[in-house]
Amino acid sequence: MAATGAGLAACGMPRRARACPRDPRDRPNFVVIFVDDCGYRDVGCFGAEGYETPHLDRMAAEGVRFTDFYAAAALCTPSRASLMTGCYPSRVGLPNVLNHTANIGLHEDETTIAEVLKSRGYATACYGKWHLGHHPKFLPTRHGFDEYFGLPYSNDMWPRHPTYDAFPSLPLIEGEETIQYNPDQRQLTTWYTRRAVDFITAHKDEPFLVYLAHTMAHVPLHVSDKFAGRAKSGPYGDVLMELDWSVGQILSTVRALGLDNNTLVVFISDNGPWLSYGDHAGSALPLREGKNTTFDGGQRVPFIAWWPGQIAADSVCREVAVTFDMLPTLAGLAGATLDPERTIDGKDIWPLLHGAPGAESPHEAFFYHLGGQVHAVRNGKWKLHAPHKYSSLAKAGGGGWPGPYETKEIGGALFDLEADISETTDVADQHPDVVERLKGLMVAFEKDLADNSRPPGRI
């Protein structure tokens, strides 16, 4: 079903409702668009080249763009665990990527965004990549979502993987039932988008949450015929153009139904680009490195928020915010109460989104960690790396095949991210007091995780 204004009118739906049926301050609608492996520079308004993203650019022109927004992790599962629970992934026992053999997943006692909003009468749907456990007890329908349609883990975990042939058939799930194996991935972005549009339309008279977790732009790249070969930059650009189209379908549906003054839409990437795939990967420039590292290229991601009348048009926020801030922020807007006995790490960032005068990041520090190990901390403009090894691209691949990485090591380096966004010049020797203060923050954080972490769910 087309979701342009003309298409909606042709289907018997109004081009624009005369009035919003609810007070826009009472339980607003939420659409969280979460794309995969999209780098910091992969959206037009962030500097993309070789293709255009007009809908995302318009979204930013009508809303707010964050320059210092972070995924809580540089990998798929932990990043999604953070978004859903409002916690650092290690706090909920999911610091690593799950695959088809995993017997763990999101614990049944964790409270997700969907469950928080269900307590306020929201209709909830998840379309796309879940990756928080593939067994029935871990699926979205067991964690507060009324509907689910999508892949339970990454789309490269299938028999056609370029370098690993031991994956079984990839399941496409509806609800809790596998309806197809090894689906035509060229249709995934379209299928997810149509489901989201239909759900928004069906629930236009009640508060709703749509979690649209696109499989793309994770490799293997797939794009429908309507976008194949359109980007000057190649297949990755084609995929981003189709994701941009999807955003346009969501926004035009919201506008056509007259819900734009009562709907917050956010666009986020789960982590930085998978650089080893070369022309099938995005770009994090001018940031250093990419996915699977705790340099900013791995975790600083494009973020755009849109809510006409509530978020100032064409605004830019340069304060630090994180994916785990979504849960308390949406809860606050919905009037939901969070359990004071359950530790979360997220903070309500509505003042930043709304552009409140003098609003600052609610985080004293943001901690970068990989595989359960704390690698770095950011406090204001300062970022301190603890000594650690990391994977750095040795040679980019191409045509859907990855290139090799090499192991490197960084010492206890301090960077001024305002003056040195690319993390190239270690200034630790000039600022020993800053180094000691940030070391103290890391020690305190590691102790807090040790004392206040919870296990994953198990079968």
CB 376 within 8 A of CB 384: yes
Amino acid at the residue 457: G
Facing residues of 107 across strands? none
Among 76, 87, 126, 317, the one annotated catalytic: 76
CA dihedral 153, 289, 318, 262 (to 10 degrees): -20
Tokens of 169: 């058939």
For 93: left if phi > 0, alpha if psi spans -120 to 50, otherwise beta; the answer is: left
Contact 92, 454 (CB under 8 A): yes
Beta strands in 136-213 (DSSP E): 147-150, 171-174, 177-181, 208-213
CA dist 52 and 41 (Å) reads: 12
H/E segment holding residue 69: strand 69-70
Per the annotation, the verdict on 203 as an active-site residue is no
Q: CA-CA distances (angstroms) from residue 189 to 39, 101, 105, 152, 181?
A: 18, 26, 25, 15, 17
Told to judge if 11 belongs to the known catalytic residues of this protein, a careful annotator would answer no
CB contact set of 83 (below 8 Å; sequence gap of 6+): 32, 34, 72, 113, 268, 270, 323, 324, 326, 327
CB 124 within 8 A of CB 209: yes
Buried/exposed code over 68-82 (b: 16+ C-beta within 10 A; e: otherwise): bbbbbbbbbbbbbbb
Cβ atoms of 245 and 262 within 8 Å: the answer is no
User: Which one is catalytic: 38, 55, 126, 131?
Assistant: 131
190: tokens are 């379209």
Rg (CA), the chain: 21
Distance from C-alpha of 247 to C-alpha of 267, rounded to nearest angstrom? 8
H helix intervals, 223-339: 235-256, 296-299, 326-334
SS3 75: coil
Encode 359-373: b = buried (16+ Cβ within 10 Å), e = exposed: eebbbebbbbbbeee
Tokens 């204001």, located at residue: 380
262 in Cβ contact with 22 (< 8 Å)? yes
Catalytic center residues: 76, 131
